[in-house]
Chain A
Amino acid sequence: MSKSAIEMPPKGGFSFDLCKRNEMLAQKGVNPPSFRKTGTTIVGLIFQDGVILGADTRATEGPIVCDKNCEKIHYMAPNIYCCGAGTAADTEAVTDMVSSQLQLHRYHTGRESRVVTALTLLKRHLFNYQGYVSAALVLGGVDVTGPHLHTIYPHGSTDTLPFATMGSGSLAAMAVFESKYREGLTRDEGIELVTEAICSGIFNDLGSGSNVDICVITKYMPQGGKEYLRNHLQPNPRTYTSSKGYSFPKKTEVLLTKITPLKEKVEIIEGGDAMEE
């Protein structure tokens, strides 16, 4: 029999063929390019009427900010939202995918989506990829069984908590939560606490910054009420703008202008065939 491997049809997922080569290159000093990560602070807490999620808005590529105002609170269902930390592409892709799966499930069952459904879909996907899909999520929502808040780690483990933080700024935010959280917060107290936790991450963690996004999900109103407060707080305006402005002179001179028409003139014939319906 031949010694070659069985011909397998190309599957999805990851191919590890180049790992040895990459290791050899890394030893020689050639490092792989860095991913765009969200180096983030994301939080969630349960208050008396439901769930509040919060996130900062900075996306980084190594030490450089690549997006000063990105959206980290992703829509999953009308009554469920998910904050994402880690590799930006991974959080976007995984939340979009599960959001679509939830919608199909809603059509199939004719019922409002439950938070545990989203939880199970996400954790199964992440575990299947053994942590290579680098998405750390805070999932929150209100369904018929009540308000729920979960954290999901890249390897697929989950926790169910009354308050949670994830991302590089999670310690700064958790310090605020552990000091000031109590059960039965009102909406305004909850928003204030979440804002304070995110601000703690924004100012004390270099991977987080810019503005505060908030999402409040409650059980009042049909289909679960929700408020998406995009840029609820903007504590970091630009510090200095020169009054006189700057001009940027054109550096490249025009040496030669030559116009070559690509098509000869087209004649329009009257009374051509009309298009059929």
Chain B
Amino acid sequence: MKSDAINVPQNEIAAFLYFSPLSTKCFSAPFTMTKQQANWSPYDNNGGSCVAIAGADYCVIAADTRMSTGYNILTRDYSKICKLADKCVMASSGFQADVKALQKQLAARHLIYQHQHNKQMSCPAMAQLLSNTLYYKRFFPYYSFNVLGGLDNEGKGCVFTYDAVGSYEKVGYSSQGSGSTLIMPFLDNQLKSPSPLLLPAQDAVTPLMEAEAIDLVKTVFASASERDIYTGDKLEIVVINADGIRREYMDLRKD
């Protein structure tokens, strides 16, 4: 029809302008104006990794000492490990402000227990307390990924692993934090934890000697520092056995 030749349909002009590499007009602009959303978060992730391994008569708990935010390092020398009771130590990664608040809360509750029962809390008891404390804040959680390690009443090593809201399990070994995805498969391969569902119930603790377990932990952190940017600087290793608690340090990559 005659009119079509003169009046080029508008949508075809739009299509032509859209396809040229330098569109000066935003006809079909890739970004439409969306409503502004609230973007303040009460949480931050300070990075880091923790590991705990239970042995027949010892427990090894280790964590790196780097505290970071985004692409920056806040400090190279921050301890993520906290002694909760005589034979019970917790390592936590995640948001360190929440971790600090959690540690204070547990220390206060432990003091009350000591006044009421005239003895220190055992590791399984502390494990349950930690779980309850975390679930108490189910709807505004502690951004804290914990591993609890220590000796139970018989002197055998035990490790408990948690998520942010208090789900916990007694295991032979565990890792949490930014490097845990790199560390856990290696520990699974070397320590071969039996399933807790097997019958008869098999022992979760590793038959390794204390020195071998420490060697394993050092290797695991050295490897995690190679590939995880949030893990590095220094490794703090805490060993609990019948003689008490001792602390060791090892240098990690600083880049």
B229 touches which of A16, A23, A60, A204 (Cβ 8 Å): A60
The answer to whether B15 touches A209, judged by C-beta atoms less than 8 angstroms apart, is: no
Q: Do A236 and B255 touch (CB < 8 A)?
A: yes
Query: Which residues of the other chain, A, contact B6 by a CB distance below 8 angstroms?
Result: none
Determine whether A255 belongs to the interface, using a CB cutoff of 8 Å to chain B: no
Confirm or deny: B144 has a beta carbon within 8 angstroms of a beta carbon on chain A: no
B72 touching A242, Cβ below 8 Å: no
Taking chain A's interface residues, is the majority helix, strand, or loop, or is none over half, making it mixed? Answer: loop
Least distance between B15 CB and chain A CB atoms (Å): 4
User: Which of these binds chain B: A1-9, A73-81, A221-229?
Assistant: A1-9
Chain A residue nearest in CB terms to B16: A6
Known: A1-B9, A128-B22. A240 touches B250 (CB 8 A): yes
Q: Are B252 and A239 in touch, CB under 8 angstroms?
A: yes
Residues in A with CB closer than 8 Å to B154 are: none
Contact digits for A112-132, partner B, Cβ 8 Å, 1 yes 0 no: 000000000000000011100
Closest Cβ neighbor of B221 among chain A residues: A240
Given contacts A65-B229, A239-B250, contact A13 B21 (CB under 8 A): yes
Binary interface profile of A, 58-82, with partner B (CB < 8 Å = 1, else 0)?
1010011100100000000000000
Q: Is A107 an interface residue (CB 8 A)?
A: no
Nearest Cβ on chain A to B65's Cβ, whole angstroms = 13
Kindly report which residue of chain A lies nearest to residue B182, judged by CB atoms: A64
| Chain A residues within an 8 Å CB radius of B253 | 209, 236, 238-239
The answer on a CB contact under 8 Å between B12 and A203 is no
B9: chain A residues within 8 A (beta carbon): 1, 3
Contact A168 B71 (CB under 8 A): yes
Determine if B30 and A65 form an interchain contact, defined as CB atoms under 8 angstroms apart. no
Check A241 for interface membership: any CB of B closer than 8 A. yes
Verify if B190 is at the interface (C-beta below 8 Å from A). yes
B86 at the interface (CB under 8 A from A): no
Closest chain A residue, CB of each to CB of B37: A27
**B29 → chain A, closest Cβ, in Å?**
9
Q: A242 touching B218 by the CB < 8 A rule?
A: yes
A105 to B189, CA, bound (A): 57
Count of A interface residues, CB-CB < 8 Å: 40
Using Cβ atoms and an 8 Å threshold, which residues of chain B touch A16?
Answer: 28, 30
- Measured between beta carbons, the chain B residues less than 8 angstroms from A236 are 253-255
Cβ of A134 within 8 Å of any chain B Cβ, yes or no, is no
CB of B69, distance to nearest CB on chain A (Å): 10
Cα–Cα, bound, A128→B73 (Å): 37
A241 near B222 with CB under 8 A, answer: yes
| B167: interface (CB < 8 Å) | no
Q: Is A244 a contact partner of B22 (Cβ separation < 8 A)?
A: no
Known: A58-B255, A236-B254, A239-B250. A204 touches B73 (CB 8 A): yes
A5-B71 contact, Cβ under 8 Å, with A209-B255, A236-B255: no
Which of A6, A58, A130, A206 has most chain B Cβ within 10 Å?
A206
Q: Are A65 and B189 in contact (CB under 8 A)?
A: no
Specify which chain A residues have a CB less than 8 angstroms from the CB of B16 in the assembled complex: 6
Expressed in whole angstroms, the Cα–Cα distance for A13 and B178 within the complex equals 37
* A240 and B12 contact, Cβ closer than 8 Å, known pairs A16-B30, A64-B227: no
Task: Verify if B77 is at the interface (C-beta below 8 Å from A).
Answer: no
Binary contact readout A192-221 vs B (1 if CB under 8 angstroms, 0 otherwise): 000000000011111111100000000000
Is the beta-carbon distance between A246 and B227 smaller than 8 angstroms? no
From B21, B72, B222, B225, A204 is in contact (CB under 8 Å) with: B72
Is B72 a contact partner of A65 (Cβ separation < 8 A)? Answer: no
Chain A to chain B contacts (Cβ below 8 Å), 28 pairs = A6-B15, A19-B31, A39-B71, A60-B229, A63-B228, A64-B229, A65-B226, A128-B21, A129-B21, A130-B22, A202-B255, A204-B73, A206-B230, A207-B229, A209-B253, A209-B255, A236-B253, A236-B254, A236-B255, A238-B222, A239-B225, A239-B250, A239-B252, A239-B253, A240-B218, A240-B221, A240-B222, A246-B190
* Pairs of residues from A and B, 5 with the lowest C-beta to C-beta distance, nearest first: A209-B255, A240-B222, A5-B15, A206-B229, A16-B30
Seed contacts A39-B71, A206-B72, A242-B219; 11 additional CB < 8 Å A-B pairs:
A5-B12, A5-B15, A6-B15, A16-B28, A23-B34, A63-B229, A68-B226, A205-B72, A206-B73, A235-B255, A239-B252
A: residues with CB less than 8 A from B are: 1, 3, 5-6, 8, 11, 13, 16, 19, 23, 39, 58, 60, 63-65, 68, 128-130, 168, 202-210, 235-236, 238-242, 244, 246, 248
B interface, CB within 8 angstroms of A: 4, 9, 11-12, 15-16, 19, 21-22, 28, 30-31, 34, 68, 70-73, 178, 182, 189-190, 215-216, 218-219, 221-222, 225-230, 250-255
